[in-house]
Amino acid sequence: MAGRGSGASIRGKVTTKLDPRAFAELIASRRIAAVTGTNGKTTTTHFLAAAVRAGLDDDGTEVVTNADGANLHHGIVSALGEAPQAPVAILETDERVVADTVRLGHPEILVLLNFSRDQLDRNHELTFLGRDWRAALAAAGPDGPMVIANSSDPLIVWVCQRARAVVWVDTKPRWTADSTLCPNCGGVLIHEATSWHCPDCPLRQPEADWWVDGEEAVSRKGDRHHLDLQVPGHFNLTNATCALAAAVEMGISPDDALAGMHTVASPAGRYATTVISGTEVRLLLSKNPAGWTESLPLTSSDPLVLAIDAVAADGKDVSWLWDVDYEQLVGRTVICTGPRALDLAVRLSYAGVEHVVIEDLAEALESPLLAGRWDKDHPIDVLSTYTPFQKLRRLGGLA
């Protein structure tokens, strides 16, 4: 009613205030698949929810999910409270909520996508989060979840040493700068073309059960499945492969799962095309160096709009800007916008990228620089951090 968002978090906050046991009560006695990781969890949750709904021929009563991305305790309570009788829950889970989800929800499936520096003032060192996940899986013992895990991430592999059972997915990421040291012994990891290992202890990349080959998800059994997706990028092919592996473990046929995933077009506004301030735009979200490394190559418009903020939801530390390869934008013009546009402008100056600063989002999309530079088949790409992205969704009528 206030026009400040979806209402998911405040609804869950009120529910939890009325009943402090709401999270534990609402998450119990369901078939749960939880999806977590620094990057990709919203899209992967959408993929998995669509796959399971297709497999169960769900009429809207069997599967509940927190599709708007509210993934802390309050957001999960809000989603589950909307469908208290739904027997299946596909939950996007914030990294800090994983341990409680495993302990209280006893999930059937836990999808672990990746670890990357993100919101440094909130999450601090990645190893501390990994330690909590590892302890939760150890405590779950033989009743723990089947884990669908990224074999390319050393910290994820270390976490999964305490899991009951693991299905490994090789994601072949571009970004490896957050996996320099071995989480097991502290040695310097060796990254090779197709794998990684620690020279000082037994930790190494496990043999994959699933991987991506071109636009196909391939299983170790030799099965090949064409990934007919409506969202771009190699990283989304790997997200879809993780979702497919999870759906198969839940008893969904690959054909049904793939048909469901094909329906996912713009999860929570990502990759959506809309009109803002008279300009046709395509919205992309990236929150950290790993995300920007994957997303920047997807952009093609000139000018390109980059929106930056640094409030709590974005992470207040913007030092990560210096880890992103903005040099690849040389030869294009960038419009820097958002409350921290000047920080980005300094970084682009050092990268030798031509740019202008227009801090107001709406004004940036009215810039004369964009006149005649787009059409419906070639919208202006707008890549932003979390808070500007949500404002852009509202400006474009998508939220």
Distance CA 1, CA 136 (A): 39
Asked whether the bond before 368 is cis by omega within 30 degrees of 0, the reply is no
Distance CA 323, CA 31 (A): 40
Distance CA 357, CA 126 (A): 33
> In 3D, which of 356, 272, 352 has the Cα closest to residue 306?
356
- The answer to whether the annotation marks 198 as part of a ligand binding site is yes
Distance CA 71, CA 49 (A): 15
- The answer to whether the annotation marks 182 as part of a ligand binding site is yes
C-beta neighbour count of 334 within 10 angstroms: 23
Task: Please pick, among 317, 325, 360, 377, the residue that the annotation labels catalytic.
Answer: 317
Q: What is the DSSP string of 271-304?
A: T-EEEETTEEEEEEE--SHHHHHHHGGG---SSE
Distance CA 386, CA 395 (A): 14
Backbone Cα Rg of the chain: 21
Cα–Cα distance list, 272 to 259, 260, 319, 381 (Å): 20, 19, 28, 10
> In 3D, which of 190, 258, 272 has the Cα closest to residue 228?
258
Per this entry, what is the length of the chain?
A: 399
3 state DSSP class of 109: strand
Distance CA 260, CA 239 (A): 14
Distance CA 148, CA 77 (A): 24
118 is catalytic: no
- The answer to whether the annotation marks 160 as part of a ligand binding site is no
Name 21's Cβ contacts closer than 8 Å, sequence gap at least 6. Answer: none
- The answer to whether the annotation marks 336 as part of a ligand binding site is no
C-beta neighbour count of 372 within 10 angstroms: 7
Distance CA 67, CA 399 (A): 12
* Active-site amino acid positions: 317
Binding site members? 182, 185, 198, 201
The annotation places the binding site for Zn(2+) at 182, 185, 198, 201
